[in-house]
Each structure stands twice: as C-alpha cells, then as structure tokens.
Structure 1
Amino acid sequence: MEKKIGLYICKGCGIGEAVDVEKIQNIGKNALRVPVVQVHDVFCSREGIDLIKKDIAEQGVNSIVIAGCSPRVKTYEFSFPGCFVERVPLRELAVWTIEAPEEKQLAAEDYIKMGVIKAQKGEIPEPYIIETVKSILVVGGGISGMTAATEAAKAGYDVVLVEKESELGGFARKLYKRVPTDDYTKGVLGDVNLEPLINEVTSNPKIKVYTSSKIEKIDGQPGDFDVTISKNGSTETIKIGAIIQATGWKPYDAKKLTKKYGYGKFKDVVTNFEFEELAKKNKGVIKRPSDERVVKTVLFVQCAGQRDPEHIPYCSGMCCATTLKQARYVTDGNSDATAMVIYKDIRTPGKLEYYYKEAQNTPGVMLAKGEVTGIREEYDKLVVTVEDSLLGDKAEIEAEMVVLATGMVPTTKEPQDYLIGLAEAAAKGDEAKAKYIETTKKPEFILNLGYRQGPELPFLEGGFGFVDSNFICFQYETRRTGIYAVGPVRQPMNMTEAQEDAKGAALKAIQCVEHVAKGIAVHPRAWDTSFPEPNLTKCTACKRCTEECPFGAIDEDEKGVPFYKPNRCRRCGTCMGACPERIVSFKDYSVDMIGTMLKNVSVPSEDDRPRIIVLCCENDAFPATETAALHRLKLDPALRFIQLRCLGSMNLVWIADALSKGVDGMLLLGCKFGENYQCHFAKGSELAKYRLGKVQETLDRLQLESDRVQMYEVAIDEYWRIPSIIDEFMEKIRQIGPNPFKGF
C-alpha cells in the first residue's frame, strides 16, 4: 500500500501562542513535502479527531504525525487502526522547557522534521501469529504451585502441575500450625489444613497432576513450549503456553553453624524446621531429642546464620513470626514453661505487628535483644552466652533446648552455584576445576531449559540464589519470557504472601498466552506487534546479538547464523544496537530511521551555539524529562531529545553520524541498573554503558574528545535531576569547545 502522510499541528496548550504554526505548516508542505498538513486549535477535541478521520477516509492518509502533546497522554483519542501514528511532543520539549521564543521555534521545527522522517521510514508492523497453546505448566506442588494452578483453572485454562514428591503440599505439609491470618490480637494459631486445597487441585478436571515427576527438558517459546516430563522411567512431551516455577525453598544447612551454635554437636540444639517436625510428631507436646523428656525451657535464637555475610546475608522474612508461633507450642497448656527469644531485631511487617504485640503479653514468653556468641553443654542443660544485650552486659542463660532460626534458601541456589562455579572455572581456563565441579557438584536441574544461555532461569549477581524477577517494575517476570517465578524461589516470604504471589503469577501467565495469541509483545511493550526482522544475507555470524540478548530470544544454527524465536522477544532492540552490520530492524524502528532523524537535526553554524543530541529510554529517562516539563523546569535550548525503546538498542553508528555532522555532544539517559536494577529490559542500560566504553576508538578516529559522549542513569521519578544533569554536561561541552566538523 502506498504511503500517504498527514501532518496535524495542534495549537492547544499554549503551542499556538509560543511558536509560529504557519511557518511550521509551510515547512511541512514545502520542505518536507507532506501531502496533507492541517492545523487545529485542539486536535484532541471531537472536531479535531473527526478532521483526521475525514482525511483518512477521503484522502487516503495512512501515516499520521500529530504535533502537540506527549505520546503518553490522549492515547485513546489518537488511536487510528490501520494507520502508522507518530506523536511529536512540541508542548513538552519546545514550549514548556525552552524560554527564548526563537529557540522554541527552532526546536519545534526540528521535532517536526524528525517526526515526519519517522513516519516516512516506518511501516505498520504485522503481528507474528502462531497457533497458541492455551495451557499453563506449574512446576512445584506446594502452597504456591497449587494456588497458581487453581487460579489459572478458575480462569478457564488447562493446567499441568508437576511435583517431584509423591504427594502435594510441599513444605507446608511439615508444619504443625500456622501463624494467624485474621485475628492477630488473640494469638490463636491456625490449622495448616491443606486438604481442601489439595482436593480442589486433584478433583479439578482442568488440572492434570504429575507426582513423583520432574521436568526433563523445555524447548520452544511462549505459546508453544515443548515440555518433556519424566515419571517412573518413562517420558511424555506436551505443548504448553506459559510456565510458572513454584519450586519453593529448603532450610539453610545448619551443619555450617556447628562451631558457633553447636548444631550437630549437641542433640538438643535443633533448627526451627526440626522443631516444627517435633511439634507435629507429638501433637504440640515438645520433647527434647536427647531423652524424650517434655521440656519446660526453650531458648530461640533468631537470625542464626542469617543477616550474616558468612552464611545468609539476607533476612528470610518469616522467621520472627514463626518463632513467636513456636514459642506458643512451648507455653500453651503448660503454665510452668518458658520460651525465651534472643533476637537481633524483630521483624513482623504489616498486621503481623499485632501478633508480635500479643506475644509480648503472653505469660511464659520472654523476648530480649542480644547476640548469641556461643552454646555449651553442662550436665543435662545447655548454657547460652548472650552479648550486646540492651543492658550491655554479658549473660549466660540455661535452657533444655535451643532452637535456631536458620532461614530459607531457594531451591534454585544449588543449580545456580553449580553454573557460577563452571563459569568461573571456564573464565580462568581451569579445566581441572571445571571437571571436578561437573563430576562432584552437579545438581539435579529443575527446568532444564533448552536455551543457549543455560538450563535454568537467570539470577542477579548477589541475588543469593533467588530467581531474577524485575521486582521493582515487573513482579514475577523473569528474563525468560513466558516463564514466571512465584513464592520463595523469587524472594523470602510466608505462606500467606506466597498464596497472594501465586495469584499474581497466574494472571501474568494468562496475560502471556493471550498476548501471544494476538501476536503482541508480552511485556513491557504490551501493545507492540513488531518483532525483529534481520537481513541475514549480510550476517557475519559474529554472535553479538545472541550473546547480548537479555531474554534468550535468539538461537544459532550449526553455522552460527542467528535465528529468532519472536515470542521470547521483548522488542527492546538490544540486538539492533549490538549488530555491527546494522542488519536488524523492526518495521517501525530501525538504525536507518534513527540515523536519518539525527542527520536532519539543525546544527547552528555559530561556534557559540552548541547542539546536543539526547538519546533516552522510553521507560524512565523520557518520562522523567516530560515530568520535568510538566513542572515547568527549564532546559538548555541546545538539546534535542530522541526517544529510544531502550538504551540497549543504541547503535554506535549513531554517535559517529551525529558527531561527523557537527553535533557538539551526545547525552545518553538510561534506566538505573545493577544489583537492584530498574532497567525495564534488564540489561539494556548496562549494555549501553559497556558499549560506550568502546566509543573512544570511534572518537579517536574522528579526532574528537571522548567527553563529548556521556551517559547518566535516571529513574522515572527523578525528573528533578534532569536540569542539573544537562547543566553539568553542557559545562563540559563548553570547556571542550565546538565540534570541529561544524559547518562541513
């Protein structure tokens, strides 16, 4: 279909008073050769929208450029199915942020040119449609997995639940009682009572349960996963649309605490999990392991090996409430019994604080702040040494039993430790160590993903074994599209929190399948029908795209040539930025498109008038800039902002093109990244920073200073930083001086 562009210039929100709209209209008609150019007082009004619709119907306009307000507002009004739509935020980037009238005008003209170029270069994406399997796999039959399975089934989805044990229930089966979930002030312990949930799962015709089973392999992509399940020596491969990993946790290895706490050395030093099993075995009557005598004094040690860099550096979240519950096992029905709790801090968030206050008033329960430094055995008692108490004195306390709150470790930690060990040995070229790790420490993998990046879900460095989910922006969503982490494999949590978590993950899995069926991205660009379309005839098989893709969306054939699995793709464009041959494009986003926009920005010939290009990500930096405009913060008029899907899509050729044209500097604004990353595309901003380190070679070739290109990290709520970042960068540019290519 032949492209026909319509340029629609809005005069509302003060635009008409701030810029010469008639001049912009003439530029559109004459310089840019746009066949249809219209001006209206308020284009988002019914009359304005009808005018655009009339041009679509009568003049065949199919590519629309609306110059007015931010693309983040009026999205419903400016939706025209079957048309390419580009929004140019004159209001935010010219009118509200620039003071001098002549500079407002020049900025408006530049943004109009770039908007029209985008419409000229862009095409309406065609969705990638496959025959989608509307079923969900849940791996793990504990409280999280069963809840996720029932919620998905209630929504009408077929569910396959795989549990490695012979029965459902997970760790919750080992519990005697549970922390209260409603009336916290009375302190009445709740029954675990898993049978109703287990019966709901096993009796639901939409849920197929595999017990004593494991995942042999997972191949494919969202909407079309091939999952091989093994049971009793036989295998079965089924089609699955989306996957939820709910494999839970296991206790920290208390044998590592022998030296300090005497675990394994003294029979009556047990973990909180073993104490729970004792209570269940004897129906609440606590008998110590050494002689089966009913105990009257039990000392609980909080954070035993937790919040400790030598063991577990994090807080497990549920231990304090669990200890308060277990203290009641000791005192309930025994008025002579005493439960002593030695804590670093008590952490009972939310309504559990009422439960903590109730425990403070419970007869027989004693709570004291302190640090347990040692445990020894004297006759038939244990003597616990406590230091750093509130009184500052060293104390020794006798008890018949000691219970260590050892904390929770995700089931994913062991596979992750193994993979880390292999990677470190490979990096050092230590083949002997790699072979030793392979032969002695190889764990049983959980998902066994058929991804070139590895058999398990990715993890954050310093994530302590928990599955990497973008917990700031997108809960549950891992770096493997269509695979969601839920419960204690994602972060420490109690049973109630795990059940809530499972409901959210089920909804995310459903969203994934529905989006794939429509051919649109799953997240975060949940409206996007585009996907990467590489020109493989020019591919050199350098593998940069496959290695840098954060989501494992690109595999390689036997010759090393990449091939895409589009439903794994998040549409970030990282592969586009990685490719040195510039062969990766989207129909509405390409290296050529952005490059042409850069080349058409006006560059003042006067030496004292700089021109700066700002490339910023659409998720944090660009919204932060627009928020700065909303607050009427003024920005240097030398800047021209170009929005990228992700800073990871930045191709280094853009820097060379802009600087060789005479642009004085380039400022890159991306999401924050690191251990607590916020980048919507996980690695995009970090990869941009890495690539920027290689820009020096390009600038040296152009005989330009490396400080002309700088990158800053900005969170979406840090709009107030935008002016100071710009001022700091502009000062550097003024010190360096004008670009010597200016005027050529």
Structure 2
Amino acid sequence: MAAEKKLAGYICTGCGIGERLDAKQLQAVATREGKLPSVKQHAMLCGAEGVKLIQDDIDAGNATHIMIAACSRRSKVEAFSFPTVAMSRANLREGVIWSRPAGDEHQETTQEMADDYIRMAAAEIKFMTVPESSGEQELNKTLLVVGGGMTGLTAAVEAAKAGYPVHLVCDEPVLGGVWKDLYKRVPFRAAAFDVPNGNDVDLPQPEDPGLDDLIERVMANGRITVHLNAKITKTSGAPGRFSADLSMESGRTLTENFGAIVQATDYKPYDANQLPEFAYGTTPDVLTNFEFERLAKQANGAVIKRPSDGREVKAVAFIQCAGQRSSKAGHLPYCSGFCCTESIKQAMYFKAQNPGCDATILFDDLRTPGAAGEDFYRSGQQAMVTFTKGQASAVVADGGNLRVKFKDLILNEDTEMVCDLVVLATGQVPNTGPDPYAQLAVDEAPTEEEKAAARAALAVAPPSILNLDYRQGTDLPHLKHGFVDSHFICFPYETRRTGIYAAGPVRRPMDLKQAMDDAVGATMKAIQSLENAARGSAAHPRVGDLSYPRFRKEGCTQCKRCTVECPFGAINEDEQRYPQFNESRCRRCGTCMGACPVRVISFDNYSVDTVGQQLKAVDVPDEFSEKPRILCLACENDAYPALDMAAQSGEHITPFVRVIPVRCLGSVSLSWVTDALNSGYDGIVLMGCRRDDDYQCHFVRGSAMAAERLSKVGDTLTQLNLETERVAVHEVAITDLKRAPAILNEMAETITRIGMSPFKF
C-alpha cells in the first residue's frame, strides 16, 4: 500500500517577489485550486530560517511532497535540497517578475503568470514520488584502463594516486604505444622571463618525453595491474558492475569486475602510402613525422643521416598538412592539431645536431596550440628554422637529391627547392573499433541490397576493442571522422555508453600534453561515475538523480521504439521481446518516455502526468479575453537556462507564455502537444538543442529524435484545420539570451496575426 502523500507549499516573498506580486493571492491559489492543505510564506525561504521551516515540517512528518514557489529550479539547489521528499518548484523570480516589466499596466498579466505557475507546481507534485536507489550495485572502485600509451599510463597513475585500483590492458608487448618512438617532446610550458634582468625571455626548447619515468611509476605502483599482449574479448554489465574477459598471451582468459572504464587507445599514424605524389615509398629519404622521430631517436643527439646512403643531412624540408585538411579520397578532412609544433621541434633537432643544416617548413596555415604555442614558434625562429608559406604539390627523386615542387603563396608563383630529406607532417587516425551504428545497419536495413552494402562496409572496419555485449553494438559510437563520440562542448570524455570514458586522441586529434591532461579529466569522470553508480545515482548531466525508467509491462506493445531510440544503449530486450531497462546505464533523459506511443514508461519524479497535469492546470482564458496562452516546453540544459539568464539580463517575454522545463526535447510526449491544443492553447513552442554534426544536446540524440517525431505534427494540425504556425520547434543554445525570449515574443505576435485557437472552451 502506497504511503500517504502529505502536501505542503512554501512561498518566498524575497528578491522582490513580495513587492511585485500579491503573495496572499498566491497562497489562496495554492490552497483553493492547488489543493495544498498547508501553505506558508517566508521573506527569505533560502536562508537558514526558511530552510529550517521546511525541514521542520519534513521531520515532523507533515510534508512528504513540497511545492516551493521562489526562484528558478536552477538556483539555490544546495539550499533547497530535501532528498527525502518529492519537490516541485514554481519559478516566480526569473520566470515572472524578472522577465516582466514593472508598472501598473502590467500588474494584472504578471500576477496571472505567477498564479498559473503556482497551479502548475501544485499539480506536478501530486504525480511525483520520491525516487529511491535501485540497490542493485555495490561500490566497485576498480577501473579498467584500455591502452598502454601515454594517455593510458597517465590515467592509470592518476587513478592510483586517488586511491582506486587499476587494471591496465595493453595489446602490445611493451608499454608506450604510439608515443614510444618519441625522441623528445614539445615543451609543456610557455616562455619564462629571466627574473634578474627582467628582459630576457627563456624560450621553451624540446624536452625529454618522460615516458620511461612514467612506465617505471606504473610498474612500481601496487594499485596498478598491467596486462601486456592482452585483449578484451567481452565487456558486459553497467557502471558499478562491468565485467570484462581479458584474453592473455598464454591463451588464458581472466574475468575481472570494474566500476568504470577509460578507453585510451590513442591513434594510428596516417598511412602515407596514399601520398604517391610525395614519392613516399619510392625512396627511403621521404619519411613521415612518426618515422623521422625514430630516426632522431637512433641518432640520440648525434648527426642525423639519410636512411638511403648514411650521408649527413644538409637540407631538409617539412611538408605540412600532408594528406590532411583535404577533401581528396583517402585524405583526412581535419587538422590533427599537433603536426606544426612537431615539425618545429624536429627542425630544431637538425639545427642543433647537423651544423649548418637548412631546415625549411612549408606551410599553408601554421597552427601551434598548447602551452608552448607561439613561444615555441619563436624558438624555431631563433634557431634559424626557415618558415615558408607554400603549398607542396610533388616530391621528385633526382639522383642523390630530392626536389620539392611547391607554390609560393607569398609571391604567388610555382617554384621548387632541393634537399636531402623530406619529412611529411601526417596526421592522427583514431584507434577505435567498428562504429556500432554500422553494425546495427546490417540488422535493421530494410532491403537485402542495403544489408549487403552495410555488410561490405563492416567487413573493412577495424577489429573490436571493447567487445561490448550491448544490443547497440560492440564498441563506442563514432563522430563523422571516426573519433569516439565525446562532445567537446557538452560532455568532454563522456561517450554514449554510460560509465565508459574516452581520453586522448581516440576522441579528437591532440598533442601529448593535451592527451595527458585529457587522461586526468576522463579518470576523474570515471571515478565520479562508479561512485554515483554505487549510490544508484545518474551520471552527468543529472548527477544525483536516483530515478530510473519504470514501465507497465501489461501495456507494452513491443514496438521497440524505446530500445532503438535510447542514445546510451541502456535498454535491451528480454526473451519475450519486452524492453529490459538497465538503470545504471540510463542517463535519465526520458527519450524512451517520449518514444513510447502507449505512454507506459515513466520516472518517479518525471512522467507523462507530471508535465501533462501542469499544462492542464493553467487557467486558459476564453476566446473573447484577448489573452492567448502559449505553452513552451524548454530543454532544462540549454533553453531553460537561457530564459533564466535572459531574465537576469533584463530581457522581457510575453505575459501569455507558460514555460515547463523538460529533461530533454527527446522526452517530449506527443500527447502533451495534443492535450495542449485540446485545452485551448493558442500556440506551442518547443525549445531544444542544436542537433546536427556539431550537436549540443546533452543527451546526444534527444533533440534530433524529437524533431523527427514532431516533423509530422504539421499534418495533424492541417487535419484539424489549425494553422501549422501554432506549433514551432527551435534549436536554442544556452548563450541565446536575446534570441530565446524573442522566439516566445514572436509566437505571441503570430497568434495576434492568425487569431485565437478555435479549440478554446
């Protein structure tokens, strides 16, 4: 038997709320229409006395479901933290008084806004329950780090320093990965000024990579277990309870349990055999930057000699962007971000080790990101490295020399230079497994021809690294260039598989320093994930949320939409083809809830009813009042914060809009749209995140899924003889402080132009 719900409301009159609004009227609305038995006011509800007022009622057993009418739910989160009760918040500060101009002429509509938000919050709380942890997992502090390069080694050391045991899996016989051939590295610091005279600048110089020291620290650390020549043959489970089968060189399989996983498999050097125009492969004196690093390491500070005949190099050319930033077939369309500084470093080897050597860097755009940056470029200049703005077109082997043909971009003329050695600045190719969406395409292709094409694409895909036992594929989803999907704006390190984090060049091109910093960030995220999993709490961005999807099996039609549309692989299917939710993998976005056509999926604190009852609680005036009602469903991660900050900046919105925050636009149920239209709303605005290749959706595909579902709403409106302009979907960024309120104001103008809804009661 469900415990009795004890409802209570608390209205803050601080921050100007009491001066702009009739608090007694708000209290009356909460009591009479919201049906809250107890409603109290306080002049500063977020202060110690106000918080105590609420906590005392909770402790006395007088409140299990509370409504707080004060500031935005994004404000005072720590003050209004009452984890033992269900809570809704009416946004009277940012949502009403700060977003509306003062003055008697605006008082009536401003008060009506506030009254509605009280009704909405009171309605919401009645359909919420207190989330509880599933209790299915214990704390597992062990991390699995995949990759034995500098990124993986750094991740292992940082985790061990934090007190977390690590299993480091490397598929090679030695540690170091692609970085092990480094002779020296680009410095990790900017220029330092000589303090005694205050004028001289100590420009950064190439430094020892520090790899041997890092390997020694890993091998000596009692918390780190290293597995060389090992592969992962199966990974199953979820955050807090991952299980991985490690296949050893001996043929033995070791099964270990982990709390979280960091994939740090770095990159593979670009295959320069795809650059025949530069004579690669036809002469040993044309090298890639990776191959040259081995050559410099072999010289170990002595004179660098040509591979072909052992002659001392007197002139060398470095060709930047070799096979990069190009749309040609087989080339990399992106910049690898580390090549320019690597070439400067390598040119400095020659200037230091080969007296009188001419070192020329041919570049179109020279980019020097990182700590050393511009200062390191100046180091190259001081070392007398020649920087020529030119675009190389060919390398020709001519007897004992190499002729580099290029276009001088300053003089705008074709020319050439003669040298002994050419170094191609080739890029980074992510070391990832097959894209799981390519795997799904085989099963879900509608025709046999499309299935065959999908199989052909999969046949040339790289071997699996994690071998995930997920319905959605064996590895981490990719971005368009093959890098692991870990969005640089919204969630660095976080992949589409909860509890599995990407670090280093596997998620984007980067230099050594960036990769090591990346390892630290990913490791801290992984630790946070396993700790949250032990509490049954969600991962970013809803950290602390204990809710997870529940569904009524008897109402399920086995349509598989929730399974397919979940961005995070959190839903499998049982033997009877019913959805099988994995709460630890779930990010609590609600995309499954929005996908469900029969509305059987819900969360304890977020459901079709919690939102549906809010929009129904709004007082919708009749068609003669000239007061339209506009419903805005706003993403809580971008659009809702944008509206809050717009109000803080003094931007005003129409008094006729009622804003309901949603976890993600992907969670929007089409029933909310139809219910709003049937309830007499004149317009509906849905604000989600950007959804293209540069998406900003915190839940990856939620905004795109919503746009796809809502694409046919226009047909429904036409069938109902309603104008299609009444429902609008917009992409809104958190920085759209002026645009977000303008969208709502434009909808109000549209309603004025096309007229009130004929569906008003």
Deviations 1:448-484 (A, max 9, x none): 1111111110112x3x111110210221001100000
Output the CA distance in 2 between the equivalents of 1:681 and 1:693: 20
Of 674, 690, 703, the match for 1:672:
690
Quickly say closer, same or farther: Cα 1:423–1:337, change in 2 above 3 A. Answer: farther
Output the CA distance in 1 between the equivalents of 2:95 and 2:206: 59
1:68 maps to 70
2:539 maps to 522
CA contact (8 A) 1:10 1:40 kept: yes
Tell me if 1:360 matches 2:385. Answer: no
1:455 maps to 474
How far has the Cα of 1:318 moved from its partner?
1.0
1:160 maps to 167
1:6 maps to 8
Output the CA distance in 1 between the equivalents of 2:169 and 2:747: 55
CA contact (8 A) 1:650 1:688 kept: yes
Quickly say closer, same or farther: Cα 1:738–1:207, change in 2 above 3 A. Answer: same
CA contact (8 A) 1:426 1:434 kept: no
Deviations 1:466-518 (A, max 9, x none): 11102102210011000000011011111111111111111111101111111
How far has the Cα of 1:103 moved from its partner?
0.5
**Matched residue type, 1:614:** C
How far has the Cα of 1:47 moved from its partner?
3.1
Output the CA distance in 2 between the equivalents of 1:729 and 1:682: 27
Output the CA distance in 1 between the equivalents of 2:49 and 2:344: 66
**Matched residue type, 1:552:** G
**Matched residue type, 1:587:** D
Output the CA distance in 1 between the equivalents of 2:660 and 2:710: 18
Q: Give TM-score, length-normalised by structure 1.
A: 0.96
1:294 maps to 312
Aligned to 1:558, the other structure's residue is in SS state coil
How far has the Cα of 1:334 moved from its partner?
2.7
For residues 712-723 of structure 1, the aligned pairs below 5 Å read: 712-723=730-741
CA contact (8 A) 2:279 2:397 kept: no
**Matched residue type, 2:77:** T
Output the CA distance in 2 between the equivalents of 1:416 and 1:428: 19
Tell me if 1:730 matches 2:730. Answer: no
Quickly say closer, same or farther: Cα 1:230–1:89, change in 2 above 3 A. Answer: same
Q: Give TM-score, length-normalised by structure 2.
A: 0.93
Quickly say closer, same or farther: Cα 1:423–1:544, change in 2 above 3 A. Answer: closer
For residues 406-555 of structure 1, the aligned pairs below 5 Å read: 406-412=426-432, 419=439, 429-437=449-457, 441-460=460-479, 462=480, 464-555=481-572
Quickly say closer, same or farther: Cα 1:435–1:307, change in 2 above 3 A. Answer: closer
Output the CA distance in 2 between the equivalents of 1:166 and 1:333: 32
For residues 555-634 of structure 1, the aligned pairs below 5 Å read: 555-607=572-624, 608-634=626-652
RMSD: 2.0
Quickly say closer, same or farther: Cα 1:737–1:241, change in 2 above 3 A. Answer: same
Deviations 1:521-551 (A, max 9, x none): 1111011111111111211110000111000
Aligned to 2:275, the other structure's residue is in SS state helix
2:390 maps to 370
CA contact (8 A) 1:418 1:442 kept: no
Output the CA distance in 2 between the equivalents of 1:54 and 1:354: 60
1:189 maps to 206
How far has the Cα of 1:267 moved from its partner?
3.0
Deviations 1:232-281 (A, max 9, x none): 322122111100000011111111111x2121233321111111112222
CA contact (8 A) 1:418 1:443 kept: no
Output the CA distance in 2 between the equivalents of 1:552 and 1:690: 19
**Matched residue type, 2:737:** Y
**Matched residue type, 2:589:** C
Unpaired segments of 5 or more residues in structure 1?
Answer: none
1:47 maps to 49
2:365 maps to 345
CA contact (8 A) 2:441 2:451 kept: no
Percent identity, aligned pairs only? Answer: 48
Quickly say closer, same or farther: Cα 1:644–1:279, change in 2 above 3 A. Answer: same
How far has the Cα of 1:430 moved from its partner?
3.9
Greater alpha carbon shift after TM alignment, 728-737 vs 647-656: 728-737
1:94 maps to 96
Unpaired segments of 5 or more residues in structure 2?
Answer: 192-201
CA contact (8 A) 1:413 1:465 kept: no
Aligned to 1:215, the other structure's residue is in SS state strand
CA contact (8 A) 1:271 1:404 kept: yes
Output the CA distance in 2 between the equivalents of 1:74 and 1:209: 45
Output the CA distance in 2 between the equivalents of 1:147 and 1:303: 29
Of 135, 139, 142, the match for 1:132:
139
How far has the Cα of 1:435 moved from its partner?
4.9
Aligned to 1:177, the other structure's residue is in SS state coil
Aligned to 2:393, the other structure's residue is in SS state strand
CA contact (8 A) 1:251 1:406 kept: yes
Aligned to 1:452, the other structure's residue is in SS state coil
Output the CA distance in 2 between the equivalents of 1:514 and 1:642: 31
2:712 maps to 694
Aligned to 2:751, the other structure's residue is in SS state helix
Greater alpha carbon shift after TM alignment, 547-556 vs 223-232: 223-232
CA contact (8 A) 1:415 1:445 kept: no
Output the CA distance in 2 between the equivalents of 1:538 and 1:424: 25
